[in-house]
Structure 1
Amino acid sequence: MRVLVVHNRYSSAQPSGENRVVDEEVGLLRAAGHRVDLFERRSDDIAGRSLPGKVAVPLLVPWNPGVRRELAARLRAERPDVVHVHNVFPLLSPAVLAACADAGVPVVATLHNYTQVCPPGTLHRDGQGCAECVGRTLPLPAVRHGCYRDSRLATVPLAVNLAVNRRRWWTGVDRFLCISAAQRDVLVRSGMPAERLVVKHNFVPDPGVRRSDDGEHLLFLGRLAEPKGVRLLMAAWDEVAAGGGVGVPLVIAGAGPLEREVSAWAAGRDDVRYAGLWDPEECRKGVARSVAVVAPSMARETFGLVVAEAMAAEVPAVAAAHGAFVELVDDGVTGLLHRPGDPGSLAECLRRIASGADRNREMGRAARRRYDEGFSPAVGLERLVEEYRAAIAARAGGGVSAPPEGNDETGPRRGARAGGDGGS
């Protein structure tokens, strides 16, 4: 199969799970013998533009006519079987969909976030969930609150983009790949065409290393930002420490806007280590040495790569009981779920996950089995090619094929229970 992947790469200054997913899918397809080409833009290139060029970038967010012409010409020349669209913000724009329509090429789009219904794509504002713009034709609340970068001016292009291109997305994409059932449920309720939305979880490469002992630390690995629950984790860990600790330290690895705050909080303590930004090899080793990974997100995550990576390394997770985490973590089996936003519940889960070595090891083995069943490269390749073929068939038949059984909102959920003491 010949595939053209369309992606606007996020800035290299911050780790991007989305960039990783794109790169790993491209590598997976190529290793299986498919021909994969790339049509990309890089947000890093904005810094090298002239001042007028930088000023023009917001104007290109809703529509970039140059991209439409360039991509349409390439599609006519190369004739791929399918185009796989990932991120188009800020330099590509939904003009890529018009180019695909011009060339008559089927389109699959992975929805990595909630930008179809929320201008910044987070469904999160001021430390809590927010759905004010969901279902609105004009997402004016996002502008009023300055949801993107805390700036009304910066939010305007995203709000305009969502308003003017909503129907173009809904009619121009043959297959939307949601990365969790929780995400799909939100999008279907918002009015997106259910028959085009299927669930295809991200896959995670086998790390080649698994936990071989009881673990030596609890690990937070990710962006140091308020929606990721960093402040919640610090509050919960202070509560754990006040009660005598759990016998292992907390390691925080990552970068982001709260880096100074985290570094200052960890300074001088022997129960916390701020490790900074790890490279991929350090991440693999750090996960495999963990008692558990901690994912206390305040926002409703569409997936949770670090949780799936922990599963691959035979390590359980402690995660917030909302969003995709409730289908990734089977509470009490592959990890523990805490009440979202509740530091006491998180603290109790941290104590529990670190207190019983035998039970923890069994959770780790169950987590690895869950990885093999749902998040391995073999499963990821099978599902990806399946959806490509479905999109091609839908375009050839002049309609939209139904999602495969078990991949829509009626499919089975895992780990959906949460309750009891400590949210577990």
Structure 2
Amino acid sequence: MRVLVVHNRYRSEQPSGENNVVDAEVALLREGGVPVGRFERRSDDIAQMSLPHRASVPLRVPWNRAARVALAARLRAERPDVVHVHNTFPLLSPSVLAACAHARVPVVATLHNYGQVCPPGTLYREGRVCTDCVGRAPVPAVRHGCYRGSAAATLPVAVNLTVNRHRWQTGVTRFFCISEAQRRLLVGAGMPAARLVVKHNFVADPGVRRTGGGEHVLFLGRLTEEKGVPLLMAAWDRLAGSLGRPLVIAGTGPLAEAVAAWAASRDDVSYVGLRSAAECRDLTSRAAVMVAPSAWLEAFGLVVVEAMAAGVPTVAPAHGAFEELISDGVTGLLHEPGSASSLAGALLDAVADPSRNLRMGEAARDRYEADFTPETGLRRLVSGYEAAIEAYGSAR
């Protein structure tokens, strides 16, 4: 089986879980003996373009003829058995699906977010979950400037979603949803249920696990409103040091300055900024609990599984993928979404009984070994490719 992975890489200044997933899957397939090629564009390259070329990028978001021509040449030269598409925004566009259709190669697409029904892909606006564009034309997204806070920036994304909706739904043989929660929402929005299957992301064994009860509460991720950072700060203010452990916040993002100032005003909060993968693994292995207070409906929740792999329970809201990743009271605790008092209470409960905390950590590790190891990830990837190839052949 020969696989060609198609992906538009996100900007390096914004650490991307999606980039990490793509890289990990490619490495996993190659280690498993599957020949894999990569057809990629990098958003970092936009900054190096001439001004006219850069200005024309939004016009090519719905359809990039050059990307189609380039991919068609790769398909003729390499003749892969299946193409695995991840992100096509902004430098590839769904024109890559047309190249695959012309070459008669089946396509598998991983849906890393809600971009098929929401221009920014988050289902989140103005501090709340928003489904205004689900199942209908994305006019509200343009009106509210949901992408980068700008109607002008949102317009090409909305046009892309609208004019290419049918192309996605007919040009992709199998969609990989990264959680059942995501799949249910997309099927409810009208996407073809028979083509949507759940394939969770996997996480490599960190090689280090928690020993003892842990030293701190850990938040690890982008410092944004939708990741629940303001909610976490409000909950921690309510706790007023009653946990007996500090809060460590690692990451960067638009709220970095506000978080740094808040942390500087307290002696029980440490903001450590952006950390390397090895440093993140170390921080996780020394955590009493991971906290993931996302305000948006997370399609997966990679930090939850990373905590599982280290034998650490997680506190997260009872919505999105968290409800299927976390068994409440067994591998972690779920709190009421958007409630600072509920989050504070869950954090307090997570560390109040040391023996229970240890049991939850052990159960979290057991869940990781059952469902999220690289071995399981490779098996699901290959079987998904095989099913797509068979379905495509039958359809032809």
**TM-score, normalised via structure 1 length:** 0.93
Cα deviations by residue, 1:299-331 (Å, 9 ceiling, x for unpaired): 000000000000000000000110000000000
What's 1:282 paired with? 279
Q: 1:398 deviation in Å?
A: 1.2
Please, which of 369, 381, 384 is the counterpart of residue 366 of structure 2? 369
- Give SS of 2:219's match: strand
Q: 1:354 deviation in Å?
A: 1.4
Flag structure 1 segments of 5+ consecutive residues without an equivalent. Answer: 400-424
What's 1:105 paired with? 105
Residue 233 (1) aligns with residue 208 (2):
no
What's 1:162 paired with? 161
Alpha-carbon distance in 2 for matches of 1:204, 1:277: 20
* Number of equivalences: 396
- Give SS of 1:80's match: coil
Cα deviations by residue, 1:79-128 (Å, 9 ceiling, x for unpaired): 00100000000000000100000100010000000010001100000000
- Give SS of 1:5's match: strand
Please, which of 318, 322, 343 is the counterpart of residue 321 of structure 1? 318
Q: 1:60 deviation in Å?
A: 1.0
Alpha-carbon distance in 2 for matches of 1:77, 1:279: 38
Alpha-carbon distance in 2 for matches of 1:398, 1:304: 34
Alpha-carbon distance in 1 for matches of 2:353, 2:30: 43
Query: Counterpart of 1:211 in structure 2: which amino acid?
Result: R
What's 2:355 paired with? 358
What's 2:26 paired with? 26
What's 2:301 paired with? 304
Identity, % of aligned pairs? 67
Q: Which runs of 4+ in 1 moved over 3 A?
A: none
Q: 1:270 deviation in Å?
A: 1.5
Alpha-carbon distance in 1 for matches of 2:74, 2:89: 20
Q: CA 1:354–1:144 in 2, change beyond 3 Å: closer, same or farther?
A: same
Query: Counterpart of 1:278 in structure 2: which amino acid?
Result: R
Alpha-carbon distance in 1 for matches of 2:187, 2:392: 22
Residue 76 (1) aligns with residue 76 (2):
yes
Query: Counterpart of 2:387 in structure 1: which amino acid?
Result: A
What's 2:181 paired with? 182
Alpha-carbon distance in 2 for matches of 1:232, 1:378: 36
Alpha-carbon distance in 2 for matches of 1:35, 1:154: 38
- Give SS of 1:386's match: helix
- Give SS of 1:225's match: coil
Alpha-carbon distance in 1 for matches of 2:242, 2:250: 20
Alignment of 1:330-341 (within 5 A): 330-341=327-338
Alignment of 1:48-59 (within 5 A): 48-59=48-59
Alpha-carbon distance in 1 for matches of 2:264, 2:53: 42
Alpha-carbon distance in 2 for matches of 1:306, 1:398: 38
Alpha-carbon distance in 2 for matches of 1:372, 1:227: 29
- Give SS of 1:227's match: coil
Alpha-carbon distance in 1 for matches of 2:205, 2:107: 29
Alpha-carbon distance in 2 for matches of 1:91, 1:66: 10
Q: 1:273 deviation in Å?
A: 0.2
Alpha-carbon distance in 1 for matches of 2:107, 2:293: 34
Q: 1:245 deviation in Å?
A: 1.8
Query: Counterpart of 1:307 in structure 2: which amino acid?
Result: V
Q: 1:268 deviation in Å?
A: 3.7
- Give SS of 1:143's match: helix
What's 2:139 paired with? 140
What's 2:339 paired with? 342
Query: Counterpart of 1:9 in structure 2: which amino acid?
Result: R
Alpha-carbon distance in 2 for matches of 1:363, 1:235: 25
Alpha-carbon distance in 1 for matches of 2:69, 2:11: 25
What's 1:263 paired with? 260
Residue 90 (1) aligns with residue 87 (2):
no
Query: Counterpart of 1:250 in structure 2: which amino acid?
Result: L
What's 1:393 paired with? 390
Query: Counterpart of 1:49 in structure 2: which amino acid?
Result: M
Residue 6 (1) aligns with residue 6 (2):
yes
Q: 1:265 deviation in Å?
A: 0.3
Query: Counterpart of 2:380 in structure 1: which amino acid?
Result: R
Alpha-carbon distance in 1 for matches of 2:131, 2:244: 40
- Give SS of 1:119's match: coil
Alpha-carbon distance in 1 for matches of 2:98, 2:19: 24
**TM-score, normalised via structure 2 length:** 0.99
Query: Counterpart of 1:277 in structure 2: which amino acid?
Result: L
